A and B are shown apart, each in its own frame.
Chain A
Amino acid sequence: MHPFLLASANDAATAIAAHAADPDLAYIAGGTDLIGLMKDRAALPKRLLDINTLPDMARIEALPDGGLRIGALARMSDVAAHPDVRRRFPVIAEALLFAASGQLRNMASMGGNIMQRTRCAYFRDEDDLPCNKRRPGSGCSALHGLNRNHAIFGWSEACVATNPSDVAVALAALDATVAVRGLAGERTIPFTGFYRLPGETPERDNVLGRGDLIVSIEVPAGAEGRASHYLKIRDRQSYEFAVVSAAAAVAVDGRRIRSARLALGGVAHKPWRLTAAEVALRSASLGDIEALKSALATSFTDARPLAHNAFKVELAQRVALRALQAAGARA
């Protein structure tokens, strides 16, 4: 790795001020993404600020109303093992458990997880290949290169990458919010508005700016939480990012869907909510497969596959269906 400085902070305000003032400074939590990026020279911060010493940011709280507050420094494994997370929102525990490996989950923080950058192989290559996300203006190698693992929704000519986080898919489906503290104080960003589509500026993954520190993630209470499921399709059985994944949460009256929330992973620059399908699914019967299928299909009319990932359009619908059924079975 390149030489850099390492410092730590004891309170959030100092950390935020330092980050805001210094464009070459990066927060580091578990390090499992940032250090990999630095080794491959896709991130070259001159200064690292270790935020693990910040107080009160690793807590996992079961809120009295049935919701959750997960500190940004809580480790993936602790969140996945937390009894209230498992009972109230199995989709979160599952999304975490299907991610990475036992060792990585012990290191990786929730804040770092939702901040992790794309696994596009061109972006991560140490040889600095043409990539607009890595070097704006250099072109997108994946657009006409190998793009099986890339987007089918919401991409631009500038970038066709996908967001790799599993738990972000679950959180997006649950309408979670991200609590961020910045120079101007604390604000709450709905998960669905946290990530950006690539557009002309794929170098920016999300809406955070200099200084912004993720403090926690809040998951609202809701009937859909308990009846939820995460389904991840990958080429090998473990320790791999998703080819396609789906998070589903439903509330039902008998077998009839009262409300459904669905998000897909591995298909876009951000977790992809199936908003149209969610509307179409209302009052459909969980037993009526054909009705479920055609409701889901309404969200795929705008799918735009690339040369190597046309299969994802069909696969994603089947995965969403299966996730929905499994969530329904928990209702």
Chain B
Amino acid sequence: MNAIGQPISRFDGRLKVTGAARYTADIPLADATHAAIVHSTIANGRTVSIDTTTAEKAPGVFAVFTHRTMPRMNPTPKPWSHLHPHGQSYLPLQDDQIHYAGQPVALVVAGTLDQAAYAGTLIRVEYDARRPVVFGSQATKEAVDPPQFLWPVASSVGDADKAVAAAAVKIEQTYTTSDRHHNQMEPHATTAAWDADGTLTLYETTQHIFGTRELLSIVLGIPEEKINVVSQFLGGGFGGKAYVWPHTLLAALAAKVLKRPVRLQLTRAQMYAMVGHQPATIQTIALGAGKDGKLTGIRHDSISPTPIFDSYIEYAGLVSRSLWAVSGGITTKHKVVHVHRNTPTAMRSPHEALGHFALESAMDELAYAIGIDPVALRLRNDTQLDPHSGRPFSTRAMRECLRAGGARFGWDKRTPEPRSMRDGRDLIGQGMAGAIYTHWRWPAKARVTLKRDGSAVVETGTHELGAGTYTVMQQVAADTLGLAPEKVTVRLGDTRLPASHASIGSSTMANAGASVMLAAKAARDRAIDLTLTGRNAPFAGAVRGDVLISDGRLMLARTNLQITYAELLARNGLATLVGDGDYDPVEEANGPKAVFSFAAVFAEVRVDPDLGLVRLNRFVGAYDAGRIINPKTARSQAIGGIIWGVGQALLEQSETDPVLGRFLNRNYSGYLVPTNADIPQLETLFVGEFDEEASPLGAKGLGELTAVSVAPAIANAVYHATGKRVRELPITVEKLL
């Protein structure tokens, strides 16, 4: 009776299909007021005056805050850290400066949302506007070296320049990706409520309750013990809800001043500048290779935009550090251009999804330049040694991904010549790409409580973003305890529970999951102790290793002796038995092995050559994400990732008006995410195995891996179909006419 590895339906499924799951903006709160943000309509300059008199007198209005009246905040802590992550360092309503379009200039609090929003339109703001700097053709000239952020900004192994210069075959190209927005279906929302003793409870759309608490404590200057952060159901995160954004701070302070709960939900339009986005990249790649296709050198440089006040780096070059074996050398470098916009942030899948487009497109170009099959080229450059760190990979089933994925796809039936495959009037193209994804290790705590009725409760401060956390934690605890999954209840998303990490980088299963396993183990071990040495111990004198547990029943091997958890607790006069789990892994960089997830993906497109229309026909992804805990939710993660990649490849871009310096089309009509009709059947294969280096559960990250390399596979398929190499995402009609 193993729950792990079973395609179990979601524990929280019923809540979600009946509308009973409560997301942040659904939580009923007596006495709540509604807040609306008024944002700047210019991108650079300052406010000269803000006239709030009419707004203050509008029906239902309790208060209007501007930079003159909003209480002061402490600066965000330096250096930036995942422990107290701010989305941006520039804090709202603290001065008269305007650094980006959409920046808060006032906050209105009223009885209803309509009242607050309408009163906001009555505020007259006079600006002293200056021309904004936007990210564009000047970018390469104005790019500067940023300070280090998540990883070193540049890397160098061997001598890539020399290797590329001396290579028999060279590919040197520039690839670009567009600004994109998370556009989670659930807009960011926050409800702040202070109680009489000065404790703040914050219902927040966050992927990181503890980080939110710590940052709020620092910026608002209140002790952590006086803050509770709650996030039990999140309507999608994708990285965008991992850090603390300005509106949350505003809601918390407004509620404090007004001594009433304040609810603030961003409008869809505000989702484009009040919170982060994925910045565009301009990437230059140089590949050097021998005639046999073996890589001798890679140079991968990337430039991305960042605000005037922050240096966010999109590490597009990261992927080139470790994906393929390179004999001569690898260098990567990242630069930023300071422009008038808000701070970008991690978005599924940060760094990797962008870098792969360049690297895996260039690999396809290399395959064609040499005249070798793209899969064969990858096989030839496969490696069990991380070229960047020199460490062996813990597990790397790239070969298996390429083989199994290719077989399922029918890659061997592909004719390599561009424009050689047709279906009626349409051109058919097939393309593929390899993928690698960073593994994150974080400390995490959990508590598992066995109860007298034979059930168990898991408590841990992690989050449910849609990946199925409630369900997989239930499976892990159930197996470890020897209980049926239905007997396990999971509680998460509250800082009053044991502390866990940010649910980012596909790290929840491996890390939070490990803490749950450890906690369940501790509870189980305490139960076993009781069977051996407790009151009226049923297995007194036996050895621990002979105690087996199944279906809530502890049994002694080779005997008829047995006792249920329920009976055991009763016999010992215990209401509960508690196990604590404290997972504290070494940082990935300090481990003996390099841990990454891997994939090989295969796309078939149909192109109408007259009309320039590209449609995805079918797609196969083969993934090495270590052990799969729940194949059903894992497949959902994978199809989601593939579809994210389809969006990146064919649809998504946030365009900036060159004069106004603002994102235009701040809505679902103008920012196109895929619809159901855009997506054919998708096939997913999981070929990974237990990776003990990655996690005690054997799991590696999956969710973000699956969004990586979809775009280059599609772009490569488009080349195969049409003979046109598109190096700028997204691939829209005009690029193929």
User: Which A residues have a C-beta under 8 Å from some C-beta of B?
Assistant: 1-3, 41, 119, 121-122, 125-129, 141, 144-146, 148, 233, 235-241, 243, 311, 314-315, 318-319, 322
Residues of B within 8 A of A318 (CB): 610-611
> Contact at B737–A237, with CB atoms within 8 Å?
no
**B269 within 8 Å of A (CB atoms):** yes
> Contact at B655–A235, with CB atoms within 8 Å?
no
The chain A residue sitting closest to B269, CB to CB, is A126
Known contacts A2-B121, A235-B732, A318-B610: does B659 contact A145 (CB below 8 Å)? yes
* CA–CA, A154 and B677, complex, Å: 34
What distance in Å separates the Cβ of B61 from its nearest Cβ neighbour in chain A? 13
Residues of B within 8 A of A238 (CB): 675-678
> Contact at B657–A146, with CB atoms within 8 Å?
yes
**B615 within 8 Å of A (CB atoms):** yes
Residue from B41, B611, B659, B678 in contact with A128 in the complex, judged by beta carbons closer than 8 Å? B41
> Contact at B675–A241, with CB atoms within 8 Å?
no
CB-contacts of B658-675 with A (<8 A) = 658-660, 662, 664-666, 669-670, 672, 674-675
A-contact bits for B701-737, CB 8 A (1 contact / 0 none): 0000000000000000000000000000000111001
**B497 within 8 Å of A (CB atoms):** no
> Contact at A1–B118, with CB atoms within 8 Å?
yes
* CA–CA, A1 and B115, complex, Å: 8
**B612 within 8 Å of A (CB atoms):** yes
The chain B residue sitting closest to A239, CB to CB, is B675
**B195 within 8 Å of A (CB atoms):** no
A-contact bits for B259-271, CB 8 A (1 contact / 0 none): 0000000000100
**B584 within 8 Å of A (CB atoms):** no
* CA–CA, A121 and B678, complex, Å: 24
**Among A240, A241, A314, A322, residue most surrounded by chain B Cβ atoms (within 10 Å):** A240
> Contact at A2–B675, with CB atoms within 8 Å?
no
> Contact at A233–B678, with CB atoms within 8 Å?
no
> Contact at A146–B655, with CB atoms within 8 Å?
yes
* CA–CA, A119 and B41, complex, Å: 20
Residue from B121, B659, B662, B678 in contact with A237 in the complex, judged by beta carbons closer than 8 Å? B678
Residue from B660, B669, B678, B737 in contact with A141 in the complex, judged by beta carbons closer than 8 Å? B660
Residues of A within 8 A of B651 (CB): 235-236
What distance in Å separates the Cβ of B269 from its nearest Cβ neighbour in chain A? 6
* Selected A-B contacts with CB under 8 Å, 16 pairs: A41-B121, A119-B669, A121-B665, A129-B41, A141-B659, A145-B659, A236-B650, A237-B675, A238-B676, A239-B675, A240-B672, A241-B669, A314-B737, A315-B611, A315-B612, A322-B611
CB-contacts of B624-642 with A (<8 A) = none
> Contact at B118–A2, with CB atoms within 8 Å?
yes
Residue from A3, A119, A311 in contact with B737 in the complex, judged by beta carbons closer than 8 Å? A311
What distance in Å separates the Cβ of A70 from its nearest Cβ neighbour in chain B? 26
Known contacts A237-B675, A238-B677: does B670 contact A145 (CB below 8 Å)? no
* CA–CA, A144 and B660, complex, Å: 11
Residues of B within 8 A of A122 (CB): 664
> Contact at B675–A146, with CB atoms within 8 Å?
no
**Among A122, A236, A241, residue most surrounded by chain B Cβ atoms (within 10 Å):** A236
Known contacts A2-B118, A318-B611: does B674 contact A236 (CB below 8 Å)? yes
Residues of B within 8 A of A235 (CB): 650-651, 672, 732-733
* CA–CA, A1 and B612, complex, Å: 41
CB-contacts of B117-164 with A (<8 A) = 117-118, 121
**B613 within 8 Å of A (CB atoms):** yes
**B114 within 8 Å of A (CB atoms):** yes
The chain B residue sitting closest to A309, CB to CB, is B734
What distance in Å separates the Cβ of A200 from its nearest Cβ neighbour in chain B? 23
* CA–CA, A122 and B651, complex, Å: 20
Residues of B within 8 A of A128 (CB): 41
Chain B binding site: helix, strand, loop or mixed by DSSP? loop
Residues of A within 8 A of B665 (CB): 121
* CA–CA, A233 and B732, complex, Å: 11
Residues of B within 8 A of A233 (CB): 611, 613, 733
* CA–CA, A314 and B611, complex, Å: 9
Residues of B within 8 A of A2 (CB): 118, 121
What distance in Å separates the Cβ of A286 from its nearest Cβ neighbour in chain B? 16
* CA–CA, A93 and B551, complex, Å: 59
Residues of B within 8 A of A314 (CB): 737
* CA–CA, A240 and B613, complex, Å: 15
Residues of A within 8 A of B101 (CB): 127
> Contact at B114–A1, with CB atoms within 8 Å?
yes
The 3 closest A-B pairs by CB, nearest first: A311-B734, A238-B677, A237-B677
> Contact at B675–A236, with CB atoms within 8 Å?
yes
> Contact at A146–B664, with CB atoms within 8 Å?
yes
* CA–CA, A243 and B736, complex, Å: 15
* CA–CA, A220 and B675, complex, Å: 36
A-contact bits for B431-450, CB 8 A (1 contact / 0 none): 00000000000000000000
Residues of B within 8 A of A119 (CB): 669
The chain B residue sitting closest to A317, CB to CB, is B610
CB-contacts of B590-619 with A (<8 A) = 610-613, 615
* CA–CA, A235 and B662, complex, Å: 22
* CA–CA, A47 and B118, complex, Å: 16
The chain A residue sitting closest to B102, CB to CB, is A127
What distance in Å separates the Cβ of A50 from its nearest Cβ neighbour in chain B? 19
Residues of B within 8 A of A41 (CB): 121
**Among B615, B657, B676, residue most surrounded by chain A Cβ atoms (within 10 Å):** B657
What distance in Å separates the Cβ of B508 from its nearest Cβ neighbour in chain A? 31
* CA–CA, A322 and B658, complex, Å: 35
Residues of A within 8 A of B733 (CB): 233, 235, 243, 311, 315
The chain A residue sitting closest to B659, CB to CB, is A145
Known contacts A41-B121, A128-B41: does B657 contact A236 (CB below 8 Å)? no
Residues of A within 8 A of B669 (CB): 119, 240-241
* CA–CA, A108 and B674, complex, Å: 23
Residues of B within 8 A of A125 (CB): 664, 666
* CA–CA, A287 and B244, complex, Å: 63
Residues of A within 8 A of B610 (CB): 318, 322
CB-contacts of B442-484 with A (<8 A) = none
> Contact at A127–B41, with CB atoms within 8 Å?
yes
Residues of A within 8 A of B666 (CB): 125
Residue from A126, A129, A148, A239 in contact with B660 in the complex, judged by beta carbons closer than 8 Å? A129
What distance in Å separates the Cβ of A314 from its nearest Cβ neighbour in chain B? 6
> Contact at A236–B41, with CB atoms within 8 Å?
no
Residues of A within 8 A of B664 (CB): 121-122, 125, 145-146
What distance in Å separates the Cβ of A74 from its nearest Cβ neighbour in chain B? 24
What distance in Å separates the Cβ of A303 from its nearest Cβ neighbour in chain B? 15
Residues of A within 8 A of B657 (CB): 141, 145-146
What distance in Å separates the Cβ of B611 from its nearest Cβ neighbour in chain A? 6
The chain A residue sitting closest to B657, CB to CB, is A145
Residues of B within 8 A of A240 (CB): 669, 672
What distance in Å separates the Cβ of B37 from its nearest Cβ neighbour in chain A? 12
* CA–CA, A311 and B734, complex, Å: 6
Residues of A within 8 A of B121 (CB): 2, 41
What distance in Å separates the Cβ of B357 from its nearest Cβ neighbour in chain A? 19
Residues of B within 8 A of A121 (CB): 664-665, 670
Contacts A126-B269, A148-B734 aside, 9 further interface pairs with beta carbons under 8 A come to: A2-B121, A41-B121, A125-B664, A129-B660, A236-B651, A237-B678, A240-B669, A241-B669, A311-B734
* CA–CA, A128 and B269, complex, Å: 13
* CA–CA, A323 and B677, complex, Å: 21
* CA–CA, A315 and B734, complex, Å: 9
* CA–CA, A235 and B666, complex, Å: 17
Known contacts A235-B672, A240-B672: does B677 contact A3 (CB below 8 Å)? no
* CA–CA, A119 and B651, complex, Å: 18
Residues of A within 8 A of B672 (CB): 235-236, 240
Residues of B within 8 A of A3 (CB): 59, 118
The chain A residue sitting closest to B658, CB to CB, is A145
Residues of A within 8 A of B615 (CB): 237
The chain B residue sitting closest to A40, CB to CB, is B269
What distance in Å separates the Cβ of A326 from its nearest Cβ neighbour in chain B? 12
A-contact bits for B676-692, CB 8 A (1 contact / 0 none): 11100000000000000
